[in-house]
Amino acid sequence: MTFRATRRALLAAAVPGCASAQPGLVTPPAAPGGGLHARAAAKGLAFGAALATRHMGEPDLMAAYRADCGLLVAEYEMKWSQLEPEAGQRRFRLADQLVSFARRNRMALRGHTLLWHESEPRWLSSLDARGTAAAMASHVDATALRWRGAIGTWDVVNEAVAPEHGRPDFLRRTWLLNRLGPDYLPQAFHIARAADPDARLAYNDFGIEHANLWSRRRRLGVLNLLQALRRAGAPVQVLGVQGHLQAGQPFEASEWRAFLAEVAALGLTIEITELDVNCAALPAAAARRDALAADLVRRFLDATLAEPAVRSVITWGLSDRHSWIQQGLLAEHRRSDNARPRPLPYDEAMRRKPMWAAIASAFDAAPRRG
């Protein structure tokens, strides 16, 4: 999931200057070529979005999910701190609601995420190394086993790379790393594979998409980790690219495609897992902002979908009504003019935005997969 997302509030705070949209009973209008997943499927791809159970009571939002999504991912309901807030006391009810919704609507499921430093339960800090290893193994095993056969891809490890932490292997200094050392990473993949032999197993990370020094260092770290996992015999099969795009940051298609080719050369497939746009650097006027955000998304997807190893695109939500960017938890998401963020394909009134059209057009133009 998006980095630092566990610190978000449960409900979006109102921001001055924008009337809130009221959920209605409107079904999104049909468009030539069908919904986003239908367009993706025509090219051998898939499209989906993250969803939180607290939003499932909004009929217009759910109509958009049914119209556009062939994939579903839990926004936070499958994270460790949510599933096991107390040691040994697992709570699957909310996650099961999303699994049931996906089954009823014939959507595939993506599991997110087995291990992430920001979703470790508080009680973990009271354990020694042996207890930490046992707790990690028990969590990964129980979670993957719970939905064995239902999850197509699991994010086994999320955001384990942090070049700024100064380690020669680029790894993030987390509780699990400090307690168990880097071997916890391949171990997690082996445990997940034993629990669910058929799920595809992914490493997922952020901040690697742009043509700046920060992203380049992160790409180097991600490649280093993937290579280390392969050397260790870990059954990693997928790189999850979060795709939290930053408007105003440079994006170079040739550089990005070269990175994707390096990942594919390792024998991995690639999934875009959390696509949205931070538009804080764009003009306040909604029409202009939407046009520029859509242009960035189209350029990113055109370059991404040109790589045959890419299998799917997932947005982190569908509507501006519910987005982690709305919370302004990160300084780079905050606007001095108080204009509401517009990071996703639908606006707050569930109207399709230029970003929706950009995604649709990118699928229409994408090479067909075998």
Quickly count helices (H) and strands (E) in the chain: 11, 9
Answer whether 73's CB lies under 8 Å from 79's CB. Answer: no
**Could you tell me whether strands 46-51 and 310-315 are parallel, antiparallel, or unpaired per DSSP bridges?**
parallel
Phi-psi region of 220 (alpha: psi -120 to 50; beta: other; left: phi over 0): alpha
Q: Known catalytic residue: 58? A: no
Instruction: With H, G, I as helix, E, B as strand and everything else as coil, classify residue 150.
Output: coil
Residue 131 lies in a domain: yes
* Residue 88, burial from CB neighbour count under 10 angstroms (0-12, 13-18, 19+): exposed
Q: pLDDT below 70 — which residues of the chain?
A: 1-33, 328-329, 331
Closest CA to 185 of 167, 204, 166: 204
Residue 11 lies in a domain: no
CA dist 83 and 42 (Å) reads 36
Residue 44 lies in a domain: yes
Q: What angle do CA 211, 214, 220 make, to 5 degrees?
A: 85
The pLDDT of residue 370: 78
Residue 2 lies in a domain: no
Point out the catalytic residue in the list 58, 118, 120, 159.
159
How many CB atoms are closer than 10 A to CB 247? 18
CA dist 206 and 217 (Å) reads 12
How many CB atoms are closer than 10 A to CB 36? 29
Residue 70 lies in a domain: yes
CA dist 210 and 332 (Å) reads 15
Helix (H), strand (E) at residue 274: strand 269-278
Q: In total, how many domains does the chain have?
A: 1
The pLDDT of residue 332: 77
Name the phi and psi angles at 64, rounded to 5.
-65, -40
CA dist 342 and 353 (Å) reads 9
* Residue 296, burial from CB neighbour count under 10 angstroms (0-12, 13-18, 19+): buried
CA dist 311 and 43 (Å) reads 10
Answer whether 115's CB lies under 8 Å from 137's CB. Answer: no
Whether the link from the prior residue into 113 is cis, omega within 30° of 0, is yes
Residue 7 lies in a domain: no
Q: Known catalytic residue: 159? A: yes
CA dist 109 and 96 (Å) reads 12
For residue 314, the 8-state DSSP code is E
Residue 289 lies in a domain: yes
Closest CA to 313 of 257, 249, 243: 243
The pLDDT of residue 328: 67
The pLDDT of residue 338: 83
Residue 171 lies in a domain: yes
Q: What is the CATH number of the domain that holds 170?
A: 3.20.20.80
Query: Residue holding tokens 């003009």?
Result: 283
Point out the catalytic residue in the list 58, 77, 274, 307.
274
The boundaries of the domain holding residue 120 are 32-365
Answer whether 51's CB lies under 8 Å from 71's CB. Answer: no
